[in-house]
């Protein structure tokens, strides 16, 4: 089980890294892609841990690579569903997923997910390319997750709504 989890996490991370690196050069010359920097997402929220209840979104470095994690405190079953979308396109890799967890793309600018969580941490790493926003919508056990249970960036900011949008700020 642990070997499968580590192999899945490593493969997903390599997929994101390889694709992210491969698309950077191609998209760098594209004049129609929005310029600017992502607002309020840099830094890992302190709450990210297996004992949190909710969702965290952040960028580890100042680039287009995001980390998205969910967890439910305790060992109770919680099912997180939702989607991450953008006006550009998304490349993603699963992280810390167990059997039954699903992350899939049906269109270039959207990833839908379903994570069955028993107190651990599930999620995906994803890169957005040629995008001006990232929109995230999350439900836990069929109900919209409260914004009190959503943290964004190193300041652990709570969004005003669920779904919420992170926008690129013009340079």
Top pLDDT among 156 and 101 is at: 156
Express each pLDDT in 15-49 by its tens digit: 444 444 444 434 444 468 888 888 889 889 988 88
The domain segmentation of the chain, as residue ranges, is 2-169
Closest CA to 125 of 44, 71, 83, 66: 66
What pLDDT score does 31 carry?
A: 60
Q: What is the C-alpha separation between 11 and 59, in angstroms, rounded?
A: 20
Express each pLDDT in 37-87 by its tens digit: 888 898 899 888 877 889 999 998 888 899 999 998 877 788 999 999 999
- Asked if residue 39 has a cis previous peptide bond (ω within 30° of 0), the answer is no
Domain 2-169 in CATH 2.60.40: yes
Express each pLDDT in 103-151 by its tens digit: 777 788 999 999 988 888 889 999 999 999 999 999 999 999 999 999 9
């Amino acid at each position: 089980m642990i070997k499968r989890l580590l192999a899945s996490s490593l493969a997903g991370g390599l997929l994101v890294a390889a694709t992210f690196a491969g698309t950077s050069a191609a998209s760098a010359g594209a004049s129609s892609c929005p310029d600017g920097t992502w607002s309020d997402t840099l830094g890992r929220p302190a709450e990210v841990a297996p004992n949190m209840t909710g969702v965290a979104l952040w960028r580890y470095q100042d680039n287009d690579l995001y980390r998205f994690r969910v967890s439910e405190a305790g060992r109770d079953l919680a099912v997180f569903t939702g989607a991450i979308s953008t006006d550009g396109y998304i490349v993603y890799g699963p992280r810390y997923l167990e059997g039954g967890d699903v992350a899939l793309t049906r269109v270039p600018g959207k990833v839908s997910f379903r994570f069955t969580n028993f107190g651990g941490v599930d999620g995906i790493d994803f890169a957005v390319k040629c995008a001006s926003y990232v929109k995230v919508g999350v439900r836990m056990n069929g109900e919209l997750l409260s914004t009190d249970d959503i943290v964004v960036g190193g300041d652990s900011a709570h969004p005003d709504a669920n779904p919420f949008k992170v926008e690129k700020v013009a340079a």
